[in-house]
Chain A
C-alpha cells in the first residue's frame, strides 16, 4: 500500500497560490467573453501575486527541510528569493498588461490576413497572463528545490512559458519567433546537460537530494562528482547567460516583446542564481576545491566578455543583454565566495539589479516611432532634449548599472566584491573592478547620446506611458533610488535572510 506524501501546505502556500492563479487564468481564457478577459486576467495575476506575497510574509520566520517530503526546503534565503521574484513579477505584470506589445493571435502566421483580421477586430488573446503566472510559479520553486529532479521540473516549468512568451511580439514577429526558437532549442540542450549531470551525481552519491550529495563527498570516485557538477553547471550557467553559454541572450532580449524581456532579465536571474547558490552552497560546499577554479574562470570570462562586447553594440536591447552577461559574471563572484557575506551580497544584488533592469526595459518600451519601438541606439540621439525626465531617469538607471556611488548598483557591487575578497579570491575582485571600468564606458556612451548630442530630426518620440506602465516604471525607479541612498533598509534584511537550511 502506498502512503500519501506529507505536504506542509502552509509552507507551500505561496507557490500553490501562484500555480492556482495560473490555472484559473487558463479557465478564464477558455470560458469568459473576450471583452472582459484582459481586465479579469490582470486582476487575477495581480491578486494572486499579492496574496502570495502576503503568505510569504506570514511564513517569513518558519523553515523546514521537508515542506514537500524531501524535495523542497523552505528556509530564510528561499523565502527572500521567492519574495524577490514575486515583487519583481508584480512590477513586471503592469508592463506586460500593456497589450499592444503582443501579437493579437499567436497562431496566426506572420503577415497573413488572419493576423490583420485579428488586429482589426481587436480580438486580443490574453494567454500571456496564465503563461506568465506559470513562469513565476516555476521561478519560485527553482530556488527552494532541494533534489535534482524537482530542480529539473522547476527549470522546465519556468522555461517553457518563457520560450512561448518570447515569440509573442506584435511587431517584427519573425525576429521574435526566431528568438523564441533559438531560446527553445538551446534551452533544451541546456536542460539535457542538466539531466545528464544529474544522472552522474545520482550515480556518484546514490541519492538525488542535495544534502545527500554533500554527505556522500569522499565516499566514491570524485571524477563522477566532477562530471556531474560540470554538466549540472552547464544547464544552470545557460540560464544566467554566463560565457560561453550566453549566445542566446542578445538575440532573445532583442527579439522578445520588451515587457517580456524585462520580466525575463529580472526574474530569471533571481530564480536561476537562487538555485545556483543553493546547489553550490548546500550540495557542493564540501567539494569546493573541485569546482571553484572552474567557476572562477567562468566568472572572469563572463565579466570581461560581457563588458567588452557590449561596447560595440548599436541596439539598446542587445547592449543591455551584454550588460546582463557582465552582471552575471559579477554575481558569480558571490557564488565563488561561498560564505555568508557572499550569499547576503548576492541576495541584495539580485533584488537591486532586478528593479533597475525592470525600470530600464520599461523605459525602452516607451521610445517609439510610428512603426513601434525604436531600439537602434543611433535614433536615441538627443532624446534627453525631447523628454528630459525620461532621459534623466534612464541615465540614472545606467549609472546604477555602472555602479557609480549613491546608486543601488554600487552598494551591490561593493558587497559582492568584498565577500569575494574575504574568501581570498582577490583575482576576481581585480578583474571585476577593471571590467566595471570597461562597462562604465558603454553605459556612459549611451548617456552621451541621450544628452550631449543634438537630436537628428526624425520621428522618434517618447510616448506618454499608460497608467500601468507609469506605476511600474516609477516604482522600480524609486526602489533603485532608495536602495542607493539607504541600502541598510534591505541590506540588514538580506543579512538576516542569508541562510540556507542544510
Chain B
C-alpha cells in the first residue's frame, strides 16, 4: 500500500471506528475526529515532501484489480495538480472541524453521525483527486454526493431538505450524463486498444470528431454543474445558504474544485480536439459567470448567498484560465483553485461565527463589528481582501496569471474578465463597510470576540493567504510542470505576445 492509499483509507477507518464504537461522550467524539483529520493532514504534508516536483509523471502509483471482468482497477496516483488539491482538502478538514466545533450539536441525528459523514467524505475527497482509473473516479465522484447530501439535509438550517435534494438531483443528472460518456469511452477503447479505464491509455484513443464532441459534452456538463458555471449554477446558492458553515467550506472550497479539476483531467486530457472546438463557447460562459456572479453578489442581502455568488464569479475565472489553453492560464487556474479554497474557507468560517453570535445571516443586521469584536473583524477583512484579489494576498497572484494567460489568446475575454475585479471591489467592500464599520447596530453591543479555539483555527488560513500572496513559488513549482504538460499534450503552444512597434 502506498502512502497515498494509506492517507486515503485512514479517515474511512476512523469513520468506521467511530460508527461502531458506542460512545455518548460528545467531546471525545469531536476530539477523535479532529485527531484523525490532523494526522491525515500531517501525513499529506509528508506526501508532499516526498513528491518529485520536476517530474510530470504520476507518482505514488498503485494499481490493484477491482472488477476484473470490466478491467476496472483500483488505480491511484498523483501529479502536481492532484497533489495540491489533496493538500487543500486535508489541510482544510482539521481546520473546519476545529472551527465549527459545536455546529453539529443542533443537527437532526446527533454529533456522531456528523463526524462519521465528515470522515467518510474526506476519504472520498482524497480518492476523487487521486483516482487514475476513470471508473474509480466516477465512483468517488458520485459516492461523494451522499455524505454531502446528508450533511446539508441533516445539519443545515432553513429550507435544508429542499436545498439538499436540489443539490443531489443536479449533481446526479450531471453524473449520469457523464456515465453515458464513460460508457462510450470504455466501449471505444474496447474497439481500439482493449477495454480499459486507465486514463493514460484512454488519452491515446483516436475518436472521430462527432462522437468526441458528444462524449466531451457529457463530461463537461457534469463538471460545469459541479464547478458551477453559469447557467448550471442555480443549486449552489441554495445549498450554501442551507448548509452549515463547515459544510459550505467543504462544498465550495473542495468539492466544487472537482468540477474544475475534472475539466482539466478529463475534458482536456481525453478530448483535446473537442476541447478546442468548444473553447469559444466555454470562455463565453466563463465570462458570463464572472460578471453575473459579481452582479448577483452585489445584490445579496444574505451573507452566505454573497459568498456563494462570489464563488460563482471566481469559478468563472478558473474556467477561463483552464480553457485559455496557455501554460500561464493553466497554472493560474490551478493556483486559483487552491487560493479560492482557503479564502472561501476563511470567509465562510468567520461569517459562520458572526451568524452564530448574532443569530442572523442578514448583512444589514451587522454593523460596527470593528469596535465590538476587533479580531473577528480583522480576520474577516483580510479574508474579504483576499476575495477581491488585493495585491499581496494570495488570490491576486492567481487572478493575475489567469488574466495574463487568457489575454495572450483571448484578449476580449480577458478585458471583460478584468471588469470582474472592479465589481469584486464593490461586492466585498460594501458588505465589509456595512458589517465592520460605522456605528454599532443595536443588538450587537455585547457580541463576544473570537475565543482561543477559533483563533487557532483561523490563524493557519490567514497565514496561508498572506504567505501565498508574497511567496507563491513553492506551490507554483509543484503546479507549473504539470500545467505546462497538460497544455502541450492538448496540442497547444503558448502564443508569443505581439508587441506593435
List chain A positions with a Cβ less than 8 A from chain B: 344, 388, 399, 404-406, 410-411, 414-415, 417-418, 421-422, 426, 429-430, 433-434, 436-437, 440-441, 444-445, 448, 451-453, 487-488, 491-492, 494-495
Interface segment, B81-89, B136-144, B346-354, B385-393? Answer: B136-144
CA gap between A418 and B70 in the complex, in Å: 10
CA of A488 to CA of B69, assembled, Å: 7
What CA separation (Å) do A453 and B153 show in the bound complex? 10
Separation of A411 and B72 alpha carbons in the complex (Å): 11
Evaluate contact between B108 and A452: CB separation under 8 angstroms. Answer: yes
Contact of B68 with A440 in the complex, beta carbons under 8 Å: no
B429 interface contact, C-beta 8 A: no
Quote the shortest CB–CB distance from A408 to chain B (angstroms): 12
A404 and B164 within 8 A (CB): no
Query: In the complex, what distance in Å separates the CA atom of A489 from the CA atom of B173?
Result: 29
Q: Are B153 and A418 in contact (CB under 8 A)?
A: no
Whether A429 lies near B180 (C-beta < 8 A) is yes
Q: How many residues of B contact A (CB 8 A)?
A: 35
- Asked if B146 CB lies within 8 Å of chain A CBs, one says yes
Taking Cβ atoms with an 8 Å cutoff, the residues of B that contact A are 66-70, 108-109, 138-143, 145-146, 150, 153-154, 160-161, 164-165, 168-169, 172-173, 176-177, 179-180, 183-184, 186-187, 190
User: Are A452 and B146 neighbours in the complex by a CB distance under 8 Å?
Assistant: no
When the two chains form the complex, which single residue of A344, A388, A433, A440 contacts B169, counting CB atoms closer than 8 Å?
A: A440
Chain B residues closer than 8 Å to A441, beta-carbon distance: 169
Please, which residues of chain A bring their CB within 8 A of the CB of B141?
405
A422 and B187 within 8 A (CB): yes
Query: Once the chains bind, are B176 and A437 in contact (CB under 8 Å)?
Result: yes
Give A495 to B71 CA distance when docked, in angstroms: 13
Chain A residues in 8 Å Cβ range of B108: 451-452
**Residues of chain A lying within 8 A (CB to CB) of residue B172:** 437, 440
Chain A nearest CB: distance from B479 CB in Å? 29
Q: Which residues of B contact A437 (CB under 8 A)?
A: 169, 172-173, 176
Between A and B, 12 residue pairs with Cβ closer than 8 Å are A404-B142, A405-B139, A410-B142, A417-B180, A422-B187, A426-B184, A429-B183, A433-B177, A434-B176, A437-B169, A488-B68, A488-B69
Q: Which residues of B contact A406 (CB under 8 A)?
A: 139, 143
Docked CA distance A418–B67 (Å): 15
- Of A388, A410, A448, the residue contacting B165 (CB under 8 A) is A448
Q: Which residues of B contact A411 (CB under 8 A)?
A: 67
* A315 to B306 CA separation, bound complex (whole angstroms): 41
The reply to whether A492 and B70 contact each other, CB–CB distance below 8 Å, is: no
Which residues from B are CB-within-8-Å of A488? Answer: 66-69
Task: Tell me which of B138, B176, B187 contacts A433 (CB under 8 A).
Answer: B176
- Of B140, B183, B184, the contact of A414 (CB 8 Å cutoff): B183
Central interface residue in B68, B138, B143, B172, by most chain A CB within 10 Å: B172
Q: Which residues of A contact B179 (CB under 8 A)?
A: 414, 417, 433
Q: How far is the CB of B157 from chain A (nearest CB, A)?
A: 13
Kindly provide the distance from the CB of A348 to the nearest chain B CB, expressed in whole angstroms: 9
Known interface pairs A429-B180, A433-B176. Does A421 touch B187 (Cβ–Cβ under 8 Å)?
yes
CA distance A411 to B138 in the complex (A): 12
- B183/A452 in contact, CB under 8 A: no
**Chain B residues positioned under 8 Å from A494 (CB to CB):** 69
Interface centre among B69, B146, B179, B184 (most CB of A within 10 A): B69
Minimum CB–CB distance from A424 to chain B (whole Å) comes to 9
B153 touches A448 (CB 8 A): yes
Contacts of A404 in B (CB 8 A): 142-143, 145-146
Asked if A399 contacts B187 (CB within 8 A), the reply is: no
CB pair A405 B176 closer than 8 Å? no
Q: Which chain A positions have C-beta within 8 A of B70?
A: 414-415, 418, 491
C-alpha gap A405/B176 in the complex (Å):
11
Please name the residue on chain B nearest to A491 by beta carbon. B69
Cβ distance A307 to chain B, nearest Cβ, rounded Å: 12
Question: How near does chain A come to B443, taking the closest CB pair, in angstroms?
Answer: 30
Besides A430-B180, A452-B164, A494-B69, 11 other A-B contacts (C-beta < 8 A): A405-B143, A411-B67, A414-B70, A414-B183, A417-B183, A421-B187, A426-B184, A451-B153, A452-B154, A488-B68, A491-B68
Interchain nearest-CB distance for A413 vs B (Å): 8
Residue numbers in A under 8 Å from B153 (CB-CB):
448, 451-452
Cα separation A492 to B66 with both chains bound (whole Å): 12
Once A405-B139, A421-B184 are accepted as A-B contacts, the answer to whether A399 and B161 lie under 8 Å apart by CB is: no
How far is it, in angstroms, between the C-alpha of A411 and the C-alpha of B183 when the chains are bound?
A: 12
Closest residue of B by beta carbon distance from A413: B179
- Within the complex, the shortest CB–CB distance from B130 to chain A, in Å, comes to 16
Q: Give the CA-CA distance A406 to B172 in the complex, in Å.
A: 14
Q: A437-B176, A444-B165, A453-B161 are in contact. Are A487 and B67 (CB under 8 A)?
A: yes
Q: How far is the CA of A410 from the CA of B176 in the complex (A)?
A: 11
Cα distance, A434 to B178, chains bound together (Å): 11
Min distance, Cβ B211 to any Cβ of chain A, angstroms: 9
Separation of A488 and B64 alpha carbons in the complex (Å) = 13
Bound state CA distance, A436 and B109, in angstroms?
29
Q: Which 6 A-B pairs have the closest CB atoms?
A: A452-B161, A405-B139, A433-B176, A491-B69, A405-B142, A437-B173
Which residues of the other chain, A, contact B168 by a CB distance below 8 angstroms? 440, 444
Closest CB in chain A relative to B229 CB, distance in Å: 19
Once the chains are docked, how many angstroms separate the CA of A451 from the CA of B68? 36
Closest B residue, CB atoms, query A441:
B169
Q: Give bound CA distance, A430 to B145, whole Å.
A: 22
* Closest A residue to B152 using CB positions: A452
Q: Residue B187 contacts which of A388, A418, A436, A453 (CB distance < 8 angstroms)?
A: A418
Q: Which of B146, B161, B183, B187 contacts A448 (CB 8 A)?
A: B161
How far does the alpha carbon of A422 sit from the alpha carbon of B143 in the complex, in Å? 26
Q: A434's closest neighbor in chain B, by CB? A: B176
Question: Cβ of A433 and Cβ of B67 under 8 Å apart?
Answer: no
Q: How distant is the Cα of A495 from the Cα of B143 in the complex, in angstroms? A: 26
* Shortest distance from the beta carbon of A435 to any chain B beta carbon, whole Å: 9
